[in-house]
Structure 1
Amino acid sequence: MRIIVLGAGVVGLATAYSLAREGHSVTVLEGEVKPGLATSRANGGQLSYSYVAPFAGAGVMGKIPGWLLDADGPMRFRPDFTRAQALWLLAFLRACNGATSARTTAALLRLAYLSRDALHALLAREELEFAFARSGKLVVYSDHAGLEGAKRQMATQAALGSEQHALTAAECLALEPALGHISSRLVGGIHTPSEEAGDCHLFCLGLEQVLRRSNFDVAFHFGTRVTQLLTAGGRVVGAATAQGVHEADAFVLALGNGARALASPIGVDLPIQPLKGYSFTLPITGLAPDISITDVAAKVVYARLGESLRVAGMADVVGLDTRFDNRRLDTLLRQARATFPQASHWQELRPWTGMRPATPTGLPMLGPTARWPNLHLNLGQGSLGFTLAMGSAAIIADLIAGRPAPILMDGLSA
């Protein structure tokens, strides 16, 4: 089958790989000049298979006012006065309850574990260098109420296959001595030994090279921005670009935030909003964590990527504004320096900001659309794009082949 994948971020490339392994003829269309230059460029670096609880959680409603009033808080909201943003926010608020959060977490765990297995299978077949490490993850808490809530979540996830351990503050410090500078505020943490880390951009570059050098039937068209999806006879028949129209038997929309502009004119309304995040990448010159760290109090994540430390955080709902907010960068820098002051010389930061495509519930949309059965969605992974990419791609490949999905699709179907 001839299949066009729209988007060459980590989700699109994983999809192209899974489809090529099925023997399909795959064409990848990407507006950027290289793969992985947008949201996949410098994300948090953590492959967090057991930490997929949605942002729309049961306790979030009470925290939002404080976050919004705090200039340095982890969340910022600026209305763009569009209908799409208003509807997304209403749906997000409706999802902030325990029952919805539990269903979402269960679905995301199924997808994350599928993705982990698919990534491990990929690495067993192909040579990829992307600073991959099975270093585990430690989530540290500075308040007892938060830690007790995490222990309850840990017990719930244990029934779904997660292997995690609750640690005291002293045990956290023994596991990761670099946390010593915040020892006075630590009350404990949750350790997941099986979590991993890697450089998402390097993964994208490596996967592109695998597809080019293997016997796969894959063509890449970079610098090729799709301007319109063409339909006829109840099907999508082409993707129009400035360079011409590309035709195929099936299409996979993996463009993240860019998908809405293409889908809306053909009657597909996608509930996606960008959650703007920030990161910087430091050369490690001193005492830095070996294990991935999530500091819940500061809402900041840390991942060691070879000889670099990736620091990431923030979730700003500000429409499609891709500009750097220097105050947000400064907040992230201050929090990181206070936590790991000896990790680097703090001069070379390599800052990044990216727009993570999120649905109100946090569940991605996977599979064919009802209106156009040969148009498949692979969208809405939010901040879990790297974690969920391989599993999402496996589902798309199975559905296009006419096979049942490899996991229960409750809540995940497009």
Structure 2
Amino acid sequence: MKVIVLGAGVVGVTTAYYLAKSGHEVQVIDRAHQPANETSFANAGQISAGYASPWAAPGVPLKAIKWLLMKHGPLLIKPRIDPELITWMMQMLRNCTSSRYALNRSRMVPLAEYSRDSLRLLRLESGISYDERSEGTLQLFRTAKQLDNSASDIEILKQFDVPYRLMDKAACLEVEPALAQSADTFVGGLQLPEDETGDCHIFTKELAEKAKLLGVEFLFDTEINHLEVDGGKLTSVVTSKGKLQADSYVVALGTASRSLVVPYGINLPIYPVKGYSMTVPISDADAAPVSTVMDETYKVAITRLGDRVRIGGTAELSGYDNSLALKRRGALERSFTSLFPNSGDLNKASFWSGLRPMTPDGPPIIGTTKIEGLYLNTGHGTLGWTMACGSARVVTDIIDGATPDVDTAGLSLTRYHGA
């Protein structure tokens, strides 16, 4: 069977790889000039199955007000009339209950753990390297209240048998010795030792090369204009390089997925949430983090990637505008310099932004649609890197008519009012 994958980010490339391994003829189309050139380019670098939880959670509406008032807060909303944003936010608010949070997380954690295990197997089989580390994630608490509030998260970790360590300050310093140089105080942390880190951009480029060896064809610098549907079946995709045809098509376009399929009566509740990152060359390895430190106060992830540190964070709701706002560096710099003040030269840092494809409830959208031959693998939000391999295997199984290794009942588009 021939399958066309629309999108060459980490989700699209992993999908192409697993489809090719399953014996399909695969073609990948993307408007960029290389793989992982947009949202996958400079993300925070975390593969965090333990933190696979929805943003829609109890207490978040009140926290959002506090974050909006903080000088270096993690949330920013650009004042504008945006019906799409209003609809998405209303859907998200409806998911901010204890029962909905528990349900949505129960759909996300198994997929994330399956994806992490799939990545480990892929790494073993292919020999791929991408500045990976398997040192876990440390969620750092600056206040006793944050430490106390971790109890609810720990209950969920117990529910899914996710290994964890609740640590005092001394134990935090054992796993991240450079925190001894921190200019700010902290009281403890929650470590998830099974989490991993790695450079998503490097991984995706390397995997694309492995995919080519399996026969996958990549068409870059190619705009996807629209789809052609006849009798309820997808017959072709029209691009800037002509009309392309296949037996099946997978939409893995991140935030661009919604606009592509909405003319055909498929309403994807995906909204772009802009995130920012800085990549800082390490000047003193002993002063840098060992793995990932999650700054709970500023919602910033600080991740070791080889001889660099990646600092990622911020949730900016400003539509599809991906312009780089230099003033957003403040929150990232504040967190990094307070925790690892002597590790890198900010004057040599690169600054980046990307649009994350967020669903209002949290889980991605994977599976079939009402159009025959059209499949979805999109809406992963901040967890595209975490869930990429697992999601790719799931959609491959669905196309093959096989039963996926994880429960997909809550991952399909049908969870939204049977759409």
Question: Given the two structures, how large is their TM-score scaled by the length of structure 1?
Answer: 0.97
Once residues 136 and 71 of structure 1 are traced to their aligned partners in structure 2, the CA distance between those partners, rounded to angstroms, is 30
2:277 counterpart residue number: 279
Residues 24, 217 of structure 1: 8 Å contact kept: no
1:408 counterpart residue number: 407
1:310 counterpart residue number: 310
Once residues 166 and 334 of structure 2 are traced to their aligned partners in structure 1, the CA distance between those partners, rounded to angstroms, is 28
CA deviation digits over 1:16-59, x for unaligned, max 9?
A: 01100110010100000101000000000011011112111112
1:377 counterpart residue number: 376
2:114 counterpart residue number: 114
Amino acid at match of 1:59: G
**Residue ranges of structure 2 left out of the alignment (5+ in a row):** 414-419
Shift of 1:68: 1.7
CA deviation digits over 1:322-367, x for unaligned, max 9?
A: 1111111133113211221111122111111000000001110000
Whether 1:268 and 2:272 are equivalent positions in the alignment is no
1:131 counterpart residue number: 131
Q: 1:23-42 to 2 correspondence within 5 Å? A: 23-42=23-42
1:98 counterpart residue number: 98
Residues 183, 339 of structure 2: 8 Å contact kept: no
1:340 counterpart residue number: 340
- Which 4+ residue blocks in structure 1 deviate beyond 4 angstroms? none
Q: Which moved more, 1:76-85 or 1:360-369?
A: 76-85
2:81 counterpart residue number: 81
Sequence identity, in percent? 36
Once residues 159 and 320 of structure 2 are traced to their aligned partners in structure 1, the CA distance between those partners, rounded to angstroms, is 39
Whether 1:253 and 2:257 are equivalent positions in the alignment is no
1:145 counterpart residue number: 145
Q: Given the alignment, which residue of 214, 224, 227 partners 1:226? A: 224
Q: Which moved more, 1:389-398 or 1:129-138?
A: 129-138
Once residues 327 and 71 of structure 2 are traced to their aligned partners in structure 1, the CA distance between those partners, rounded to angstroms, is 9
Whether 1:299 and 2:299 are equivalent positions in the alignment is yes
Once residues 384 and 79 of structure 2 are traced to their aligned partners in structure 1, the CA distance between those partners, rounded to angstroms, is 25
Once residues 241 and 255 of structure 1 are traced to their aligned partners in structure 2, the CA distance between those partners, rounded to angstroms, is 14
2:237 counterpart residue number: 239
What is the number of residues matched between the two proteins? 411
Shift of 1:175: 2.1
**Residue ranges of structure 1 left out of the alignment (5+ in a row):** none
Shift of 1:412: 0.8
3-state secondary structure, aligned to 1:312? strand
CA deviation digits over 1:137-193, x for unaligned, max 9?
A: 111111222212213322322221200010011211222121124475211111111
Residues 313, 332 of structure 1: 8 Å contact kept: yes
3-state secondary structure, aligned to 2:335? helix
Once residues 152 and 65 of structure 1 are traced to their aligned partners in structure 2, the CA distance between those partners, rounded to angstroms, is 21
Once residues 156 and 51 of structure 1 are traced to their aligned partners in structure 2, the CA distance between those partners, rounded to angstroms, is 10
1:206 counterpart residue number: 206
3-state secondary structure, aligned to 2:161? coil
CA deviation digits over 1:222-279, x for unaligned, max 9?
A: 0011010110021111110121000011100000011111111111111111110010
Once residues 71 and 165 of structure 1 are traced to their aligned partners in structure 2, the CA distance between those partners, rounded to angstroms, is 31
Give the alignment's Cα RMSD to 1 decimal. 1.3
1:17 counterpart residue number: 17
Amino acid at match of 1:403: A
Whether 1:290 and 2:275 are equivalent positions in the alignment is no
Residues 23, 217 of structure 1: 8 Å contact kept: no
3-state secondary structure, aligned to 1:347? helix
Once residues 79 and 26 of structure 2 are traced to their aligned partners in structure 1, the CA distance between those partners, rounded to angstroms, is 39
3-state secondary structure, aligned to 1:185? coil
Q: Which moved more, 1:77-86 or 1:5-14?
A: 77-86
Residues 173, 183 of structure 1: 8 Å contact kept: no
1:389 counterpart residue number: 388
Residues 42, 279 of structure 1: 8 Å contact kept: yes
Question: Given the two structures, how large is their TM-score scaled by the length of structure 2?
Answer: 0.95
Residues 80, 319 of structure 1: 8 Å contact kept: no
